[in-house]
Structures are given as C-alpha cells and as structure tokens.
Amino acid sequence: MSAGVPRLSVVVAIEEGAANVPAVLAQLGPASHGDCEFLFCATHDTELTALPRGMAHVQAMICATGSRIPQMWRDGIVAARADCVALLSAQVVPARGWLDAVLAELPEGDVAGVGGYFSNDPQARPLDWAIYLLRYGAFSRPQSRDTDHIAADNAVYRRAPVLACRDLMELGFWEVEYHVRFRAQGLRLRLSDRIEGVHTNRYSAASFAAQRRQHGYAFGRDRARRFGTGRWLVQLLATPLLPALLAAKVLVRAARHGWLRRAPLATHAWLMWFVAHWCWGETRGLCADIFRRASWLQWPRSRRRSR
C-alpha cells in the first residue's frame, strides 16, 4: 500500500437514519482507526451534525437532492481512496468489533465482495420486524461460504471491479446488477460469519413504502433489460401473481429460520403492505422497458412499406 492511501474506506449512506449516526460512530471508532477513512453521505447537512470535527479521515458528503442509498453509495465509492470499500446504511448499526472483522475479511484475488449477516434490534416493533424480514431475512444467520448475492448494507467490495461497471455506475450502486456482472466476469462473492450488522430501523411506514416502490421499480427495470422479448412477455403476464409469490417466499424463509415465532402478529400486516408497494414498483419498472421493446411491434408496418 502506497503512503497516504487508507487501508479501507467505509461509506455510510444516511437515509432517514440520522438518529443512528452516534451509535454507528461509537461502533466504528474512527479515533482509533486513523489508517481508515470514513465517508458519511447524506442529502442534507442536518443529517451530519453528529460527525466529529477535527478528524481529517472522517468526511461529510452532501449528495444530490433526491438521492437514495444506492446513489449515496455510488458517490462514496467514487470519492473513496482505498482499494476496498465497506458499505453501510445508517439503518444498520455495526456490531462490536465490526471494523476489525471487515479488515480481516478484505476481498482479494477473484473475490469481488464479502458480505455479513444481520441481527434485529431487540426493541423492534412489528413495523421494524417486517422491514427486517423483507430486507435481511436471507442474511439473518451467520454463514461462511460462496454465494451469488450479498446485502450491500453490510459488506465490503474491491473498488476496482465496481468502478469498471461504468454503465451501472450512472444509476447508482444497485448491488444485484453488479453481482450479476461480477459472476459473468468469473468473480466470486462470499458470506462471512464474522461481519454482523444490527438492523435498527428509523423509517416510518410511509417512507419505507416509498422506498419499496422506488427500489422495486429499479429491480424490475434492470431485470427487464436482461430479458429477451419472450421472457419479458411471460414476466409481464405473470405480474398479478407477484405479490403472492413474494409474500410466500418471505414467510417461508422466516418460518424456516424461526423468525415468525419471535415476530409480533402485526408483523404480517406490515409485510403484506410493503410487498404490495414493492410489486407495484417492480411492475412499473418492467413496463418502463416497453418503449425499447416497442420497435418489434412496428415490424409488420415497416415490412409493408418495403413492399
């Protein structure tokens, strides 16, 4: 490592999670990790008032108005100086020893990223439980193995493979699309049982529903771009089944892991509500691709002209 280059860059995206920033700082301990840099990204400076002053390796970044977490991560990754970038959202508080665990698991070679697992806030309400099961249910148990997907809210990536995806960077760091690209390039992703993040929700029901619609839209849009026309049409016709399929997937996974026995009964209602918002967004994203596909609908007309 050349002089002046941090050992690791940590990028924290703050979206309605400013109340968690003091706890995030306490667990990261920047005062005792001067060989790392810490970038806190937000859309308003009022969300950054808890940051310590006088530490050159702790920086505040103001992102464009309307940026969501993937755009904040993207801005932080671009600004970062280390070869590896650890990502957090302020809805996730690192567990004790998180930074040391990440430093011990830095990806190298053909490993593009390493992800951790998520526990839930012991004081979680039904709303918080629903968000936890939707977002982190697949990563709720500590595991160490190769995988196709990790959750970027608690992960570390090699910066070079991310920056190489220039077309994806324009939209932000929507990790699913990057993971598809990494696998196509022969790169690997791994899970680590040493990297724990604690889901500590600060979203209101309305703001998380809006986030689900936007993230669902991006997911549907990006999937549609990978589909051939035949598969795209099948997916479009199957959209009425999407809410039931997604809800069943979340509930079966939660039951298998034992989370439904711990979650309050009202969690189910919130789950259904947020699933509906995601599905509405995903359907809109899928349909947004219709204009690109519409060219094949014009083929008979152009053929008639050629005659």
Range of the domain at 176: 8-199
Number of domains the chain contains: 2
110 near 186, Cβ under 8 Å? yes
Distance between CA 41 and CA 181 in Å, rounded? 25
Helix (H) or strand (E) segment spanning residue 112: strand 111-120
Model confidence pLDDT, tens digit, residues 6-44: 999 999 999 999 999 999 999 999 999 999 999 999 999
| Same structural domain, 194 and 218 | no
Distance between CA 49 and CA 233 in Å, rounded? 49
Model confidence pLDDT, tens digit, residues 64-103: 999 999 999 999 999 999 999 999 999 999 999 999 999 9
- Last-in-domain residue among 156, 176, 199: 199
Indicate whether 2 belongs to any domain: no
Indicate whether 300 belongs to any domain: no
Distance between CA 90 and CA 126 in Å, rounded? 20
Residues of the chain with pLDDT under 70: 1-3, 227-238, 241, 289-307
Q: Name beta bridge partners: 60.
A: 40
| Same structural domain, 194 and 47 | yes
Q: What is the pLDDT of residue 288?
A: 78
Q: What is the pLDDT of residue 232?
A: 64
Distance between CA 307 and CA 294 in Å, rounded? 22
86 near 8, Cβ under 8 Å? yes
Distance between CA 40 and CA 47 in Å, rounded? 9
| Same structural domain, 179 and 233 | no
pTM of the shown model: 0.86
- Last-in-domain residue among 161, 182, 199: 199
137 near 216, Cβ under 8 Å? no
- Do β-strands 145-147 and 188-199 pair in parallel, antiparallel, or remain unpaired? antiparallel
